Chains A and B, each alone.
Chain A
Amino acid sequence: MIDPFLLRALAAGIGLAMVAAPLGCVVVWRRMAYFGETIATASLLGIAGGLALHANLTVAVLITAVLVAGALLALGRQTIVPADSLLGLLHHAALAAGVIATASLKTPGVDLTGYLFGDVLAVSNADLIWIAAGGALVLASLAALWQPLIRLSVHEELAAAEGVNTGRIKIAVTLLIAVTVALAMKIAGALLAIAFLVVPAVAARPLAHSAERMALIATAIATASVATGLMVSSTWDIPAGPAIVLVMATSAVASLAARRI
């Protein structure tokens, strides 16, 4: 007999994996890992804001993630500082501000660790509905944008010259990342959310010969990692989110190593 909280954790983790893994492929192709990382870390500020205002945390994180994503897009237009340095600055500033904001809340029983690394065993039915609805939205958008996204990733200027509206698609990808980060918050937390996107995609790359295959393999690896991670977590009583991420990372390293041999 499996406990209901473990079943909910499994459903939430698999639901997230099915959305985050294909989107993660795009994040890897477009070299947006650190960009996503910055959005995810800044979401901690959304958590603090949501707790302070007694608002729905998923909504608070969603709004914060979208705002930060917009700010990053706008800042991306400057050219005097390299983009990754700027992201480094914002990522750490957001983390520092988020930790201070969460710690200074007078709300009793605030568990900072849960917000940083997720608390998948505390997933509620409402969280599951968020993941199902939000996930369906992200997957449908991703499917609709798939071809132009590949063209943009292969060669942005060629895609633009051929009539792809690259500006609009880049904004759409950024929004999809923001929504997925919000969905991942409860499961993986501000610091591990992007692992659900990037790590399965990295694991899938050496095994794939087409873009679609890469997305499917990444989804399979992510789903299997969620199940394995939860099992490991409940067997040895270790934190569930980090356990899942570690299983994903192990498969990525194994996949990259197998390619070398």
Chain B
Amino acid sequence: MTALAAHSHGHHGCAAHGHEPGPAGSANALIAAHGVSVVKGTRTLLDQITLAIEPGEIVTLIGPNGAGKTTLVRALLGLERPTSGHIHRKPGLAVGYVPQRFGIEPAIPLTVERFLTLGQTVTKSALDETLTEVGAGRIRHQQLPELSGGELQRVVLARALLRQPDLLVLDEPSRGVDHLGEAELYALIARLRASRGFGVLLVSHDLHIVMANADRVVCLNGHICCSGHPETVAGHPEYARLFGTEAVAAFGIYTHHHDHDHDLTGAPVTRPPLPKADP
């Protein structure tokens, strides 16, 4: 535990800094949430979320179960109407979406190739290239319900890529994929981002690989606890509280502290700044 409390001065705020755009994003942000709240009955699932994704940027959304990660993704995609606040999408934005659980209805006979071309015009060369990229070339004539979880994941990713997205949204893509496949998957996404230049919104609660691949990490627990460069977030006490000290120890850094606490209901409570510790 002592290693964690290395230094609390320095005060790197948790939001993005310097020349980077503010949380609401720049004028050419792909998609932006402005003060978005989602309330279901008496539960506040999302509380005043302001977040933007810039072209070519990989933003990873992390947070514990029930933190509202999927709700935020659904709101950004227009599948969930915010109770207040609004979502701004760049006009004509093409979104490729890889949903969290992809349960295939086995009653529909459908080959991989047909699924990929369903409702979209795809050239043969684009189809070949994308299938090779995601490593699904050999299963193109198989029936969709016969695929394994990992194969299905690749195929759904291929469909998202074939939409020529400006923004790729992946909700917990590593779920149901073995650990090796997971590292491969994130490396593939980073590679494709580099070659195609789309923005990526990635939801995960798997931290290690995510941290290595993201440009910006947003830590969500109903509200945005902190966001910024992976190292910054990994050193955040709120991150430690949400993910356990083990996750923090894995990074061994502690660069700033938080300006608020949470009470038992999760509501933020402002606290006075800590006295500066001696280095």
Assembled-state Cα–Cα distance A147/B156 (Å)? 17
Q: Does the CB pair B102–A162 fall under 8 Å? A: no
Q: Does the CB pair B99–A29 fall under 8 Å? A: no
- Give the chain B neighbours of A148 by CB distance below 8 A: 119
**Given A28-B107, A162-B163, A209-B111, A155:B99 Cβ within 8 A:** yes
Assembled-state Cα–Cα distance A211/B111 (Å)? 10
Task: Bits for B12-43, please: 1 = Cβ < 8 Å to A, else 0.
Answer: 00000000000000000000000000000000
B109's contact among A157, A162, A164, A211, by CB below 8 Å, is which? A211
A210's contact among B104, B110, B169, by CB below 8 Å, is which? B110
- Give the chain A neighbours of B163 by CB distance below 8 A: 162
User: Which B residue sits closest to A148, measured CB to CB?
Assistant: B119
Cβ of A92 within 8 Å of any chain B Cβ, yes or no, is no
Cβ of B114 within 8 Å of any chain A Cβ, yes or no, is yes
B77's contact among A151, A153, A161, A208, by CB below 8 Å, is which? A161
Task: Bits for B92-119, please: 1 = Cβ < 8 Å to A, else 0.
Answer: 0001010100111101111100110011
**Given A161-B97, A164-B119, A155:B108 Cβ within 8 A:** no
Cβ of A150 within 8 Å of any chain B Cβ, yes or no, is yes
Q: Does the CB pair A162–B78 fall under 8 Å? A: no
Q: Does the CB pair B108–A151 fall under 8 Å? A: no
Task: Bits for A140-157, please: 1 = Cβ < 8 Å to B, else 0.
Answer: 000000011011011101
User: Which B residue sits closest to A26, measured CB to CB?
Assistant: B108
Assembled-state Cα–Cα distance A65/B263 (Å)? 53
Interface of B, secondary structure class, is: loop
Instruction: Count chain B CB atoms within 10 A of each CB in A162, A209, A211 and give the residue with the most.
Output: A162
Q: Does the CB pair B110–A158 fall under 8 Å? A: no
- Give the chain B neighbours of A211 by CB distance below 8 A: 108-110, 114
- Give the chain A neighbours of B109 by CB distance below 8 A: 205, 208-211, 213-214
Task: Bits for B110-132, please: 1 = Cβ < 8 Å to A, else 0.
Answer: 11001100110000000000000
Nearest chain A CB to B30 CB, angstrom units: 15
User: Which B residues, 71 to 107, have Cβ-Cβ distances below 8 Å to chain A?
Assistant: 77-79, 95, 97, 99, 102-105, 107
Cβ of A105 within 8 Å of any chain B Cβ, yes or no, is no
Cβ of B8 within 8 Å of any chain A Cβ, yes or no, is no
**Number of chain B residues whose Cβ lies closer than 8 Å to a Cβ of chain A:** 24
- Give the chain B neighbours of A7 by CB distance below 8 A: none
User: Which B residue sits closest to A160, measured CB to CB?
Assistant: B79
**Number of chain A residues whose Cβ lies closer than 8 Å to a Cβ of chain B:** 23
- Give the chain A neighbours of B119 by CB distance below 8 A: 147-148, 151, 162, 164
Assembled-state Cα–Cα distance A230/B63 (Å)? 63
Task: Bits for A113-147, please: 1 = Cβ < 8 Å to B, else 0.
Answer: 00000000000000000000000000000000001
User: Which B residues, 159 to 211, have Cβ-Cβ distances below 8 Å to chain A?
Assistant: 163, 169
Q: Does the CB pair A162–B97 fall under 8 Å? A: yes
- Give the chain A neighbours of B169 by CB distance below 8 A: 161
Nearest chain A CB to B42 CB, angstrom units: 16
Nearest chain B CB to A217 CB, angstrom units: 10
Assembled-state Cα–Cα distance A162/B111 (Å)? 20
User: Which A residues, 143 to 196, have Cβ-Cβ distances below 8 Å to chain B?
Assistant: 147-148, 150-151, 153-155, 157-158, 160-162, 164
Assembled-state Cα–Cα distance A4/B35 (Å)? 71
B105's contact among A153, A157, A164, A214, by CB below 8 Å, is which? A153
- Give the chain A neighbours of B114 by CB distance below 8 A: 210-211
Nearest chain A CB to B254 CB, angstrom units: 38
- Give the chain B neighbours of A205 by CB distance below 8 A: 107, 109
- Give the chain B neighbours of A161 by CB distance below 8 A: 77-79, 95, 97, 99, 169
**Given A147-B119, A158-B99, A29:B107 Cβ within 8 A:** yes
- Give the chain B neighbours of A158 by CB distance below 8 A: 97, 99, 102, 156
Cβ of B143 within 8 Å of any chain A Cβ, yes or no, is yes
**Given A147-B119, A162-B97, A164-B119, A157:B79 Cβ within 8 A:** yes
Nearest chain A CB to B70 CB, angstrom units: 10
- Give the chain A neighbours of B115 by CB distance below 8 A: 154
- Give the chain B neighbours of A150 by CB distance below 8 A: 108, 110, 118
For this complex, 28 residue pairs linking A to B, each with C-beta atoms less than 8 Å apart, are: A29-B107, A29-B108, A31-B107, A147-B118, A148-B119, A150-B108, A150-B110, A150-B118, A153-B105, A154-B108, A154-B110, A154-B118, A155-B102, A155-B105, A157-B79, A157-B99, A158-B102, A160-B78, A161-B78, A161-B95, A162-B97, A162-B119, A208-B109, A209-B109, A209-B143, A210-B109, A210-B110, A211-B110
Which residues of B are in contact with A by a Cβ distance under 8 Å? 77-79, 95, 97, 99, 102-105, 107-111, 114-115, 118-119, 143-144, 156, 163, 169
Cβ-closest 3 pairs across A and B: A161-B97, A208-B109, A161-B77
Q: Add 20 more A-B contacts to A155-B104, A162-B163 (CB < 8 A).
A: A29-B105, A31-B105, A31-B107, A147-B118, A147-B119, A150-B108, A153-B108, A154-B104, A154-B108, A154-B110, A154-B118, A155-B99, A155-B103, A155-B105, A161-B77, A162-B97, A164-B119, A209-B109, A210-B109, A214-B108
